[in-house]
Structure 1
């Protein structure tokens, strides 16, 4: 059973759960049933629209499933700064609702999908899974709380829980408030792109397909009660990323508009992925150069997917 879909990565459906799959998704402003179009007719797939905070619905959907993979979350940092309540409700209370249902129905494994942002910011080196949690935004604080709650159900109830923490995702079907699709779609439309502060904030970029591969490994072979970092192995400053996207979209620096830095903006993220590599055999398979090229081409080829979303929302950059 899948809760939410990672950036609309339809490849994640068969990769994470090769037999019968139920997808439960609230379809909020960033949800889009069209993201599942390539697998919508797959007889393994059942889609249910609903809220993970709805206990009665969750009980009905969870019943009979051996595995839960919990992607569902409010995930936009800037939106959490403007209003934290939906993030606490969905990310913490929603996770508690799912855990309680899994406990009642004897779910064999609960995979809780989280983020490297729970670690905070790091000037040098890379985070291992034992690094203390030090979230700096309401979003990351809500995810840290849900991580701890999931692990507590393992320690208290003996539930088979595995937690994954990923770096920044990119790829097709990503909602255009995230930095890469925002920049690409703005540039393809002849518009400008915002660059926070001095552009020196560093992120590790992970293709969504590699993220799903890492989650599948954690689901199949991860040890109960353990955390696994999933990274892409390529760190770039936001300015360096901007330069690559400008080149890919045949645009110049005159299209970049400096903006005031985000409140509490984490300076650098860096994940140590040696644990998942050694224990589960994970390694990123899509390098950033090819992944970005493929992603830009996907947005060039799929205006009919993203243009209505851009028209309906006014997203801000998030990285």
Structure 2
């Protein structure tokens, strides 16, 4: 069998490949990635494996995608590729529409044409985000039945792609599944993201920016747990046509997250915690900044028996150790 993984050189996709390529020697994994700013093959630890292949390709190129599809005839398509940086979606929204909407459409069309209604063991799995649901107040959780209410160009583009994927199931019978995850953290995340930025700036004694008053709340999911949930979904036929919310049950404010990271850093580096906290700087809030995200993962737990393996403390320890090594901190 051939599994086509889009965006496999990015943060979540590379963690998925690094774990599941070695575990499945009879499955060929083809990674297609445009290698934009967020993707690099330095993230790939399994390049020497015989059941792994990389192709540089852009999912917005319809002809290129069709050629790859017909050459490899994948049984499953695991679609990670996306523009995902909210700030950039505010300044340059067009590329988010092109990649997240048009790119997803190109993949769906090619899959529909290639499979020609022979859907035995086939799957198109689309990785999405909890941001499509909009913003929560101080209570409540996102469920799979929460109405979509995206509030940034990024979340709107992901909501659009979710709807297109669902439409291909209802209209054409394409065997799809969708997962909407909370904020991921772990190794291989791009330096611009929040947790790497906090660690890098702290160890280099630079200002640590926090939007607004730091009270915005996010749920944090360790990336390896996310990858395990995806594998469970694509491996089980009962998930066809369904959406699953994947969260870590770690919803905390940005201020709490930063101080937690700084406390761990102080212990690991010997830097005085007060000196680290003094680096925190509250900056002008992001436009349309959602107040709170929090996921109810009951559906994936009850239907598939999925539970995260790592608690928040364990995940943060692993993550911080990875970035301290990356930033050459002894």
Q: TM-score range by the shorter chain?
A: over 0.9
Q: Secondary structure at the match of 1:249?
A: helix
Tell me, yes or no, if structure 1 residue 73 matches structure 2 residue 82. Answer: yes
Residue aligning to 2:92: 83
Residue aligning to 1:59: 66
Residue aligning to 1:132: 147
More displaced 10-residue stretch of structure 1: 11-20 or 210-219: 11-20
Is this contact kept in 2: 1:109–1:161, CA < 8 A? yes
Tell me, yes or no, if structure 1 residue 245 matches structure 2 residue 261. Answer: yes
Shift of 1:237: 0.2
Residue aligning to 1:192: 207
Unaligned runs of 5+ in 1: 307-319
Q: State how 1:82-121 maps to structure 2 within 5 Å.
A: 82-106=91-115, 108-121=122-135
Is this contact kept in 2: 1:115–1:165, CA < 8 A? yes
Residue aligning to 1:39: 46
Shift of 1:14: 5.8
Is this contact kept in 1: 2:12–2:227, CA < 8 A? no
Q: Secondary structure at the match of 1:75?
A: coil
For residues 189 and 100 of structure 1, the distance between their equivalents in structure 2, rounded to whole angstroms, comes to 47
4+ runs deviating over 6 angstroms = none
Tell me, yes or no, if structure 1 residue 181 matches structure 2 residue 196. Answer: yes
Is this contact kept in 2: 1:232–1:284, CA < 8 A? yes
Is this contact kept in 2: 1:9–1:172, CA < 8 A? no
Shift of 1:55: 1.3
Deviations 1:178-234 (A, max 9, x none): 100111111122212101111000000000000101111110115221100010111
Is this contact kept in 1: 2:31–2:52, CA < 8 A? yes
Please point out which of 2, 13, 16 is paired with 2:5.
Answer: 2
Q: Secondary structure at the match of 1:265?
A: coil
More displaced 10-residue stretch of structure 1: 169-178 or 184-193: 184-193
More displaced 10-residue stretch of structure 1: 222-231 or 43-52: 222-231
Is this contact kept in 2: 1:204–1:270, CA < 8 A? yes
For residues 98 and 9 of structure 1, the distance between their equivalents in structure 2, rounded to whole angstroms, comes to 17
Shift of 1:279: 0.6
Q: Secondary structure at the match of 1:266?
A: coil
Q: Secondary structure at the match of 1:236?
A: strand
Residue aligning to 2:270: none
For residues 191 and 95 of structure 1, the distance between their equivalents in structure 2, rounded to whole angstroms, comes to 39
Tell me, yes or no, if structure 1 residue 268 matches structure 2 residue 308. Answer: no
More displaced 10-residue stretch of structure 1: 220-229 or 90-99: 220-229
Shift of 1:11: 3.9
Could you say which structure has the greater relative contact order, defined with CA pairs below 8 angstroms and 6 or more residues apart? 1
Tell me, yes or no, if structure 1 residue 29 matches structure 2 residue 37. Answer: yes
Residue aligning to 2:233: 218
CA RMSD in angstroms comes to 1.5
Unaligned runs of 5+ in 2: 267-272
More displaced 10-residue stretch of structure 1: 282-291 or 11-20: 11-20
Q: Secondary structure at the match of 1:165?
A: strand
Q: 1:54 to 1:9 in 2, by over 3 A?
A: closer
Deviations 1:241-297 (A, max 9, x none): 010111122242211111011111010001110000011111111111111111111
Shift of 1:15: 4.8
Residue aligning to 1:314: none
Shift of 1:27: 0.5
Number of equivalent positions: 304
Please point out which of 308, 313, 318 is paired with 1:289.
Answer: 313
State the TM-score, normalized to the length of structure 1.
0.92
